[in-house]
Amino acid sequence: MLKINNLHASVEDKSIIHGLEMEVKPGEVHAIMGPNGAGKSTLGYVLSGRDGYEVTEGSVELDGADLLDMEVEERAQAGLFLAFQYPVEIPGVSNMEFMKESVNAIREHQGKEPLSAAEFLKKAKAAAKQVQLPLDFLKRGVNEGFSGGEKKRNEIMQMILIEPRVAILDESDSGLDVDALQVVADGVNSQRDGERSFIVVTHYQRLLDYIKPDFVHILADGKIVKSGDASLAHEVEKSGYSFLGKKYEEAEA
């Protein structure tokens, strides 16, 4: 479904990702762990097409199509979703209007009829309820005045509404207490249907107790240095990233 071949990317001429390989098949959950500065967030931005994140080599295919050749919105319409580590506040644009526009743009791309206001409202209410966001959050400006945890839940709510092919969760666990973590994880797990794939980017093993990965990859220095099953995450939890060499021991202290 998502194939990343020999990906090299740089930000402001600084090479961050060099030679990343990864293949995500339908229904799989891949966790990407790694020390700070390994390029974890960069990967999400590169895949979603953020300005300033330049791919210098390699290719990425989504369902056989060249992802890197698409505009940001086209990637989303093709089924890629990025849950931000730091969701942006946009006062004045209501969450509801935003999501309706989003869902209908994606439906249009899929050749489906747009949802009516009533149909959409019903879905939005259900999604808000699922992530335990009060309904008035739908009417508020996008992330406007939301707490850190509310922003993360709002990301998951958007994912539920958008129904992507592949969702990248960029540190969706950071700054969450256990209850909020459970809500986020439940939201994600509810969307696992054997078809939809996930790339869970996280610094800590904790989230992976709630969202069970099929594969765990360690990202360091812009490439995957080690892959394994869920037990790899536990190994990291126990002994940190020391196996990566001295360079990372300090960062993890």
Partner 1 sequence: MSQWLNEVIESASATSDFLAPFRKQALSSLEQAGWPGRRNEAWRFTPLTSLEKREVKHVQQAASAQPPSIEGLSAFELVFVDGKLATDTSQLATPEGVTIASFDQLDDTQKQAASEVFGQIKPARHIFGLVNDIASTQGIFIDVADGVQMDQVIRVANLVTQDVDAHTRILVRVGKGASAKIFEHAEGTVASMSTAFSEYAIAEKGHLEHYRFAMMTGQAKQIGGTHFQLGDESTLNSTVVGYGSELSRLDVDIIHAGEHADAKMNAVYLLAEGELFDLHSNIEHTVPNGTTEENARGIVGDRARAVFNGRIHIHRDAQNTLAELNNRNLLLSRRGIINTKPELEIYADDVKCAHGATVAEIDEEALFYLLTRGVNRSKALVMLNFGFIQELVNKMPDAAIRQWLLPKLNDRFAQMEVK
Positions touching partner 1 (CB under 8 A) are 48-51, 71-73, 75-77, 81-82, 84, 87-88, 90-93, 97-99, 101-102, 105-106, 109, 141-142, 158, 162
Residue number with CB closer to partner 1 (31 or 99): 99
Residue number with CB closer to partner 1 (150 or 221): 150
User: How far, in Å, are 83, 152, 203 from residue 20 at the CA level?
Assistant: 21, 27, 18
Residues 6+ apart with CB under 8 A from 10: 16, 17, 53, 54, 56
Q: How far is the CB of 216 from partner 1 (least distance, A)?
A: 25
Residue number with CB closer to partner 1 (86 or 204): 86
Determine the straight-line distance between the first and last CA of the chain, rounded to whole angstroms: 37
Cα–Cα distance, 20 to 6 (Å, whole number): 5
Q: How far is the CB of 196 from partner 1 (least distance, A)?
A: 16
Residue number with CB closer to partner 1 (81 or 241): 81
Q: How far is the CB of 70 from partner 1 (least distance, A)?
A: 11
**Backbone φ/ψ region at 114: left (φ over 0), alpha (ψ -120 to 50), beta:** beta
Residue number with CB closer to partner 1 (37 or 141): 141
Q: How far is the CB of 7 from partner 1 (least distance, A)?
A: 19
Q: How far is the CB of 106 from partner 1 (least distance, A)?
A: 4
Radius of gyration of the chain (CA): 18
Q: How far is the CB of 4 from partner 1 (least distance, A)?
A: 18
Residue number with CB closer to partner 1 (66 or 73): 73
Cα–Cα distance, 32 to 195 (Å, whole number): 20
The residues facing 200 across adjacent strands are 31, 169
